[in-house]
Amino acid sequence: MASKIKPFTTGDLTVQWAHLHEADTKFGDDAANHSCTVIVDVELQKELDALMKDNGVEKINGMRVDNDGNTLLKAKSKVFVKENIKAFPCRDAKAELTQAIAYGGDTVRLRLAPTVLTRDGSMSLFLNGVQIIEKKPYDGAASATGGFEVT
């Protein structure tokens, strides 16, 4: 059994990687989930440190440091996978449901549900929601020039 803690909403964070367009099945259908990996800023780190201290936790699952020295947090959800919903539903800056999906470089707020796991006393932050605050312009194959300059 796990000990649940009141969910909270982060401030604005930058997405490093997201798997929200469809469930990630890399480790099989039984492990399928949607996920969002964000760069942890000073404000979120303070909140996470306080959560750890208040709940006697020494480790938050899904946290790591990348090659650039950024602390990353990966939050996952199986809720919509279990409900057979392909894409994780996101909200726009006005908190309205949107067809847009968060991708790397976008600015988001996450709704996270902390849970202390009894198996090892660690904490997991489950993804309850994604609000897209700002979409990063995409200049890839979908753009008018396909990412190339006119010569």
CA 84/CA 104 separation, integer angstroms: 24
Q: What is the pLDDT of residue 59?
A: 96
Residue 72 · residue 40 · CB < 8 Å: yes
Residue numbers of the chain with a pLDDT score lower than 70: 1-2, 138-148
Residue 118 · residue 1 · CB < 8 Å: yes
CA 112/CA 129 separation, integer angstroms: 7
Q: What is the pLDDT of residue 139?
A: 57
CA 10/CA 113 separation, integer angstroms: 11
**Residues recorded for the chain:** 151
Q: What is the pLDDT of residue 140?
A: 56
